[in-house]
Amino acid sequence: MARTEFPAKATHAQTRAHNASLVLRALYDLGPISRAAIARLTGLTRTSVGELVAELEQDGLAQEVGRGPSTGGKAPTLVSLIDDARHMVTLDLGERTFTAALLNLRGEIQRRATRNLDGADGDAAVALVHDLIDELLAGPHSPILGIGVGTPGIVDSEGTIRWAVNLSWTDLPLGKRLAAHYNLPTVVANDSRAAAFATFLFEGEDRPTNLIAIKVGHGIGAGLVLDGQLFDGDGFGAGEIGHIVIEPDGAPCHCGRFGCLETVASVPAILRRAFFQAAESGVRIPQSIEAIAAAAAAGDELALGVVRAAGRALGMAVASLTGALDVRRIVVLGSATVLGEPWFEAIRDEARRRTLATLARDTEVVNGGPADDAVLLGTCALLLTRELGLTVRR
């Protein structure tokens, strides 16, 4: 178990870095803004802000962009972040496809690349990762801030993938390897948690302090942003809710237990249930999650039943999360969100049924959409935090 080590001492350099990140964050969140306004918002003196902005200009991260309207005195000089001052390469190592993108500081995708996995695993899969990074770095780009990788499975803070079942990776120090090979800062993180962090960071200036994002697709995983920080847990497994047991006497799960959330509420599970129900009733078997969504939207009772059952199961998980953590913003994203309102209503109903009324009243379960790029954006967000100190605590 991780023990509390002695925290690092505080130095002047850290103080400076902290204040620099305050300025950066003001610039990032509040668009073109004057030095004086930054000083008011952050509490820093105009002197310090001036120096820090000068540093950012030196680094090519910020520039003056004209004057703003006067409020009774000298008109302010507006300073703006240069969105394309840095680029990043981030990857989403999906079930069947590896996706990569070149992003700017705003998380805007400049270029993409994909590779089909075609059953590749182990070293072959690692080769694909290099391949994608090389392809994206071959084109024109600004200085690279770092490389970000989102992957299923458990990843420690050093960037070592403890295990990722479908890629047959165990204890793969991917982070260190990529960092050494490309000589660039590298972040490797679990995909769901990366997605959660993206949802948090790109929320804009009034991001909540706490947020839980649940990604429902082939698997189910959540990321917990607590006090503005992605929470790891002791074994870097925080948010791995796919194997919470929902129906103790339910279907077997590949994890060895019965009735895990994934056996009930994941996209494959929903398809399976729809298949059996349709076969039993002798009606047409839906071939995709979209087909089920369409049928449910059209009022097909069978489809609605399947959708609602899946939603309720997820609602139980939501209830246990909100009950335990009292986090009031839950964002659900991933391919399952095409199921739309009937599904969300079931999630909300069940969550409400299982938590204190006062708590449930203030908890919002938000539809985050398919969020296909959430993982790509997530490791981007992690790089922004780690390399630029875009978010800070204290």
Partner DNA sequence: CGGACTTTGTCCATAGGCTGGACAAAGAAC
Partner DNA sequence: GTTCTTTGTCCAGCCTATGGACAAAGTCCG
Q: Please choose which of a second copy, DNA, none residue 252 contacts, taking the beta carbon within 5 to 8 angstroms, the exact cut-off set by kind.
A: none
Which of 29, 51, 156, 247 binds DNA (CB under 7 A)? It is 51
3-state SS class at 5:
coil
Q: Which residues contact 56 (CB under 8 A, 6 or more apart)?
A: 20, 23, 24, 27, 62
Candidates 63-71, 124-132, 230-238, 386-394; binding stretch for DNA (CB under 7 A): 63-71
Residue 22 burial (10 A CB sphere; 0-12, 13-18, 19+)? buried
Residues 42-81 that bind a second copy (CB under 8 A): 42-44
Q: Does 96 bind DNA (CB under 7 A)?
A: no
* Smallest distance, DNA to C-beta of residue 100, A: 36
* Distance (Å, whole) CA 328 – CA 358: 11
Q: How many residues bind DNA (CB under 7 A)?
A: 30
**Which of 104, 89, 140 lies closest to 379 in space, CA to CA?**
89
Give phi and psi for 263, each to the nearest 5: -80, -10
Quote the least distance from Cβ 205 to DNA, whole Å: 19
The contact mask relative to DNA for 28-47 (x = CB under 7 A, - = no) is ------xxxx------xxxx
The full DSSP string for 61-93 is SEEEEEE---SSSSPPEEEEE-TTS-EEEEEEE
Residue of 3, 6, 58, 70 interacting with DNA (CB under 7 A): 70
Tokens of 174: 């991917």
Q: In whole angstroms, how close is the CB of 77 to DNA at the nearest point?
A: 3
- Binding-site string for a second copy from residue 135 to residue 174, where x marks contact by CB under 8 A and - marks none: ----------------------------------------
382 lines the binding site for a second copy (CB under 8 A): no
Is residue 243 part of the contact set for a second copy (CB under 8 A)?
A: yes
Distance (Å, whole) CA 9 – CA 136: 39
Chain centroid, CA 177 distance in Å: 23
113 binds a second copy (CB under 8 A): no
Does 298 bind a second copy (CB under 8 A)? Our answer is no
Check if the beta carbon of residue 122 is closer than 8 Å to that of residue 102.
no
- Among 60, 139, 143, 235, the residue binding a second copy under the rule CB under 8 A is 235
Interface with DNA (CB under 7 A): 9-13, 15-16, 19, 34-37, 44-48, 50-51, 53-54, 67, 70-77
